Amino acid sequence: MTSYKDLGLSNTREMFKKAVAGGYAIPAYNFTNMEQMQAIIQACVETKSPVILQVSSGARKYANATLLRNMAKGAVEYAKELGYEIPIALHLDHGDTFELCKDCIDNGFSSVMIDASHHSFEENVALTKKVVEYAHKFDVSVEAELGVLAGVEDDVVAEKSTYTRPAEVEEFVKKTNVDSLAISIGTSHGANKFTPAQCTRNADGVLIPPPLRFDILEEIEKRIPGFPIVLHGSSSVPAAEIAIINANGGKMKDSVGIPEEQLRRATKSAVCKINIDSDGRIVMTAAVRKVFADKPEEFDPRKYLGPARDALKEMYKGKNENVLGSAGKA
Ligand code: G3H
Ligand code: 13P
Ligand code: ZN
């Protein structure tokens, strides 16, 4: 058993309490490799932001559980070395079984998500409760989900979203004793969230997707005031980066993500954790493709992963400062 406390990590309790009270959200950035992790830590230290390092089960298999745990330990030491101590959580994203959650808790994670949102309400309650009872013995935080997001999560593909039913949240939170709740109000996973045809154009000609269902969020908040709420599927899919990818040999579809103003609005509520994975993938791919196209003679990975890391860092800093409002909160 390796406790996250021995690695210098934090659970999410204090982070969420402060974020709900302060009207900002903690960034939860997914990572699978060293350059992404370096960029996240550099950005969060430079902006003095708390951060959740987020690992999906697929990412854990890809990168190796032991390596990831030690990378998270290294992240804590690296942040200190960079000159500013920030709270860092290591979180399992979309855990689908008790066994996986337990394995993560036993191996240094300070927070886990048990995502039984595809099951019935009763099954979701039962599985979440089981994970919570185990996790809380070790002071590990647990996130659960009510409602289903469209898009791809690991091996699960949901064609359509099912919005969270506000009438269910109170009973769910009470019965499970969970620490935070992911909800479905119109965000979706992956790089292909909305097609241009699903959007309207504003006065400046910018494509605007259907707005998030803030009415549902408000209804949820009325029933569980101040309870920590999580937004998944919150990448903004920057059009300029997609254009760089496609101008340099890529073939990504035209797609529109979640507008940053809507995320900013959400941070003013009890939404205190915002999940971003796809934007990191897009920015990294754009930077690598550009080097490959501009300097086809390069073959040293540092020459293309280095620029990708720099671009990622700038993107994360921008999110912390201008979208999530987490800058200066560590
Ligand atoms: O919500 C899903 C995350 O973006 C993780 O994606 O399962 O491909 O690692 P992944
Ligand atoms: P994006 O695909 O919008 O980045 O969402 C990531 C996510 O929700 C991870 O759990
Ligand atoms: Zn997610």
Give pLDDT, residue 159. 64
In tens, the pLDDT along 151-160 reads 755 555 566 7
Domain covering 4-324 assigned CATH 3.20.20.70 in the classification: yes
Question: Ligand 1, atom 10: nearest CA belongs to which residue?
Answer: 154
Return the residue whose CA atom lies nearest to atom 7 of ligand 1.
154
pTM attached to this predicted model: 0.97
User: Tokens for 131?
Assistant: 């994970």
Of 6, 93, 204, 277, the catalytic one is 93
Any catalytic annotation for residue 93? yes
> Quick one: pLDDT at residue 136?
98
As a whole number of angstroms, the distance between CA 72 and CA 122 comes to: 34
Neighbouring CB atoms inside 10 A of 287's CB total: 24
Out of 33, 36, 94, give the residue to mutate to test ligand 1, the one with the largest number of ligand atoms within 8 Å of its CB.
94
CB atoms within 10 A of CB 3: 16
Rounded CA-CA distance 65/211 in Å is 38
297's CB contacts (< 8 A; 6+ apart) are none
What pLDDT does 114 receive?
98
275 lines ligand 2 (CB under 6 A): yes
Tens-place pLDDT, residues 125-146: 999 999 999 999 999 999 999 9
The per-residue pLDDT for range 55-90, each reduced to its tens digit, is 999 999 999 999 999 999 999 999 999 999 999 999
Determine the distance from the C-alpha atom of residue 53 to the mean position of all C-alpha atoms in its chain, rounded to a whole number: 8
> Exposed/middle/buried for 147, CB within 10 Å: 0-12, 13-18, 19+?
buried
With a 6 A CB cut-off, is 277 part of the ligand 2 pocket? yes
Geometric angle at alpha carbon 175, from 129 and 180, rounded to 5°: 70
Task: Show Cβ contacts of residue 29 under 8 Å, excluding neighbours closer than 6 positions.
Answer: 36, 40, 51, 52, 53, 54, 276, 277, 280, 316
Provide φ and ψ at 272, rounded to 5°. -125, 5
Residue 150 has a pLDDT of 79
Q: Is the CB of 232 under 6 A from ligand 2?
A: yes
Residue boundaries of the structural domains of the chain: 4-324
Question: For residue 98, how far is its CA from the centre of ligand 1 (angstroms)?
Answer: 19
Q: Which ligand is nearest the CA of 186, by number?
A: 2
Q: Is the CB of 176 under 6 A from ligand 2?
A: no
Q: What is the mean pLDDT of the chain?
A: 96
